[in-house]
Amino acid sequence: MEAWIRARVTLALTLFALLFFVSRSSPPRQFVISNAERRIDLSSHIINVHLTLKVENTGTRPASEVVLALTPTEVDHLAMVDALAIKGKQKKTTSVRLEVKPTELPDAPPIDAKYFTIYLADPLNSGESTTLEVLYVFMHFLEPFPAEIAQSESQLVFYHDTALILSPYHIKQQTTFIKTPSTKVESFIRVEPTNRVGTEIKYGPYEDCPPYTISPIHVHFENNSPFAVVEELVQEIEISHWGNIQVTEHYTLVHAGARHKGVFSRVDYQSRQFSNGASSFRYLLARLPARVHSVYYRDEIGNISSSHLRTNSLKSELEIEPRYPLFGGWKATFVIGYGLPLQDFLFESSDDKRYLNFTFGCPLIGMVVDKLTIKVVLPEGSTDPSPVVPFPVEHRLEAKYSSLDVIGRTVVVLEKKNFVPMHNSHFQVYYTFNPIFMLAEPLMLASAFFMFFVACVAYIHIDLSIRK
């Protein structure tokens, strides 16, 4: 471990040295960051990094594109990046959401890095400065070490980062705060000035850092928060114009923390709850829409009896317990299903279309979803489906045959990878539907019965015997 860290430090130093000699020309250089403050929250397995940048235009022309740099590993684990522009002084601040897009820089960077560009709402004139707030959310970024723990041990994880912010700009002053979930920190690398108070480690302030300076650090600390990860969630929303929306959610849940090793002892787990299986979890909370009805919770082999539903007029909460407590590496699959009143979610738009307005997200609170698939099953006979989602998703169409379907129902499939709770937002699916199709199935049933009775009557009245 030690050697590895040393190797990384040397590598960084080499790069650092290279930097001075090789190229100083890469990105547009008109910005300087006069002050950067970074707050890293490590209290759960979803890592929030709040970055406050004071950007100053030192170039000659007005510019509106600020570039952020991240290492490739960070990008792999990045679930979302969001930027706000803070306007106004002191108390009367307002924030404006800015567009962030991944970009490629034309010239080769001195360090392996990937870039995101923030597009400022108004170009920043020469000499002016503005404050940006950037939120990065990372998932699967904490590395459990040791990778396997026994039941009585608590979970220790590594967090790797750099004490100096990776940036294509010159940073005049920067500070990084790392918040750990508890005071139990095994070790961390100091890059003076470094200060640790309670659950917070403060790196900096560092003055005058040239572009692409990094200084790798790690923090090795205890994190017993549930590392609950939904590997795959398939949510099926079936619309019936007879007044119901049926939602079925298929979960594959896994404990993504340090793997459980050796014995699972029920005696210890039952009698010494706190010292045993500290990193395991048993309960999950799902927040469902209000007026939810006929909720079920089951898996491949049947109903799971350990769940509680609490409803009030504003929201419903479903507390579920998987069949067994989840230790590191243990999996559980289950299905949650519920019905919702149609009028709460389906509306008519001005152009004679109908649209479904539903939450894009995972009802389980605080859950990271590796792959989220939402299938909106439109009623049979609906046409021109078009989804509207506030962030980029893959989408395609499928067909599904439900009860008494002849031509099949159109299914709008939306897929999103690396989903974190911060993504939760509403999405819409627009489609056209002729209400006459609602009558198709009842008419079919009625005619089937009618035919049956006609057949019965005919059978009674027709003499089928050969001999007379």
Partner 1 sequence: MATMPASASASDLLKSFKLKTKQQELLIRVSILCLVYILAFITRLFSVLRYESMIHEFDPYFNYRTTLYLTENGFYDFWNWFDYESWYPLGRIVGGTLYPGLMVTAVLIYRILRFLRFAVHIREVCVLTAPFFASNTTLVAYFFGKEIWDSGAGLVAAILIAVCPGYISRSVAGSYDNEGVAIFALLFTFYVFVKAVNTGSLAWCLASAFGYFYMVSAWGGYVFIINLIPLYVLVLLITGRYSMRLYVAYNCMYILGMLLAMQIRFVGFQHVQSGEHMAAMGVFFLMQVFYFLDWVKHMLSDTKLFQAFLRITVTSAVAVGGIALGLGMVSGYISPWTGRFYSLLDPTYAKDHIPIIASVSEHQPTAWSSFMFDFHILLFLFPAGLYFCFKRLSDATIFIVMYGLTSMYFAGVMVRLILVATPAVCLISAIAVSATVKNLTVLLRSKNKVVQTGSTKGSGGSKSSSKALLDQSQPFQKNGAIALLFGAFYLLSRYATHCTWVTSEAYSSPSIVLAARGAHGNRVIFDDYREAYFWLRQNTPQDAKVMSWWDYGYQITAMGNRTVIVDNNTWNNTHIATVGRAMSSYEDEAIEIIRSLDVDYVLVVFGGVTGYSSDDINKFLWMVRIGGGVFPVIKEPDYLVNGEYRVDKGAAPKMLNCLMYKLCYYRFGEMMTEYGKPPGYDRARGVEIGNKDVKLEHLEEAFTTSNWIVRIYRVKPPNNRW
CA dihedral 234, 239, 245, 250 (to 10 degrees): -10
Q: How many Cα atoms are found within 13 Å in the side-chain-facing hemisphere of 374?
A: 26
Spatial CB neighbours of 222, under 8 Å, sequence gap ≥ 6: 154, 155, 156, 157, 180, 181, 182, 184, 185, 186
User: In this structure, what token pair is assigned to residue 147?
Assistant: 């990778």
Task: Tell whether residue 319 is a contact of partner 1 (CB under 8 A).
Answer: no
Whether the CB-CB separation of 219 and 201 falls below 8 Å is answered with yes
* CB closer to partner 1, 179 vs 298: 298
Distance CA 416, CA 419 (A): 7
Alpha helices in 22-96 (DSSP H): 72-77
Segment contacting partner 1 by CB under 8 A, of 25-33, 195-203, 303-311, 362-370: 303-311
* CB closer to partner 1, 290 vs 404: 404
Dihedral-angle region of residue 369 (phi above 0 means left; psi in -120 to 50 means alpha; beta otherwise): beta
Residue 338: how many other CB atoms lie within 10 Å: 22
* CB closer to partner 1, 211 vs 277: 277
- Kindly state the smallest distance separating residue 289's Cβ from partner 1, in Å: 25
- Kindly state the smallest distance separating residue 101's Cβ from partner 1, in Å: 40
Segment contacting partner 1 by CB under 8 A, of 92-100, 321-329, 355-363, 411-419: 321-329
**Interface residues for partner 1 in 406-465 (CB under 8 A)?**
406
- Kindly state the smallest distance separating residue 141's Cβ from partner 1, in Å: 25
Judged on CB neighbours under 10 Å (0-12, 13-18, 19+), 263 is: exposed
Helix (H) or strand (E) holding 173: strand 170-179
Task: Tell whether residue 324 is a contact of partner 1 (CB under 8 A).
Answer: yes
The DSSP output letter for 258 is: S
Q: Among 60, 303, 313, 350, which residue interacts with partner 1 (rule: CB under 8 A)?
A: 303
Query: How far apart, in Å, are the Cα atoms of 228 and each of 232, 308, 325?
Result: 12, 20, 11
* CB closer to partner 1, 266 vs 468: 266
- Kindly state the smallest distance separating residue 277's Cβ from partner 1, in Å: 13
**Interface residues for partner 1 in 254-293 (CB under 8 A)?**
262-267, 271
Task: Tell whether residue 301 is a contact of partner 1 (CB under 8 A).
Answer: yes
Query: How far apart, in Å, are the Cα atoms of 363 and each of 214, 317, 431?
Result: 39, 9, 25
- Kindly state the smallest distance separating residue 456's Cβ from partner 1, in Å: 11
* CB closer to partner 1, 293 vs 323: 323
* CB closer to partner 1, 145 vs 264: 264
Q: Among 97, 272, 323, 417, which residue interacts with partner 1 (rule: CB under 8 A)?
A: 323
* CB closer to partner 1, 124 vs 304: 304
Binding mask 392-411 for partner 1 (x = CB under 8 A): ---------xxxxxx-----
The number of helix segments (H) and strand segments (E) in the chain equals 4, 31
Q: Among 64, 131, 182, 333, which residue interacts with partner 1 (rule: CB under 8 A)?
A: 333
Q: Which residues bind partner 1 (CB under 8 A)?
A: 262-267, 271, 298-306, 323-324, 329-333, 401-406
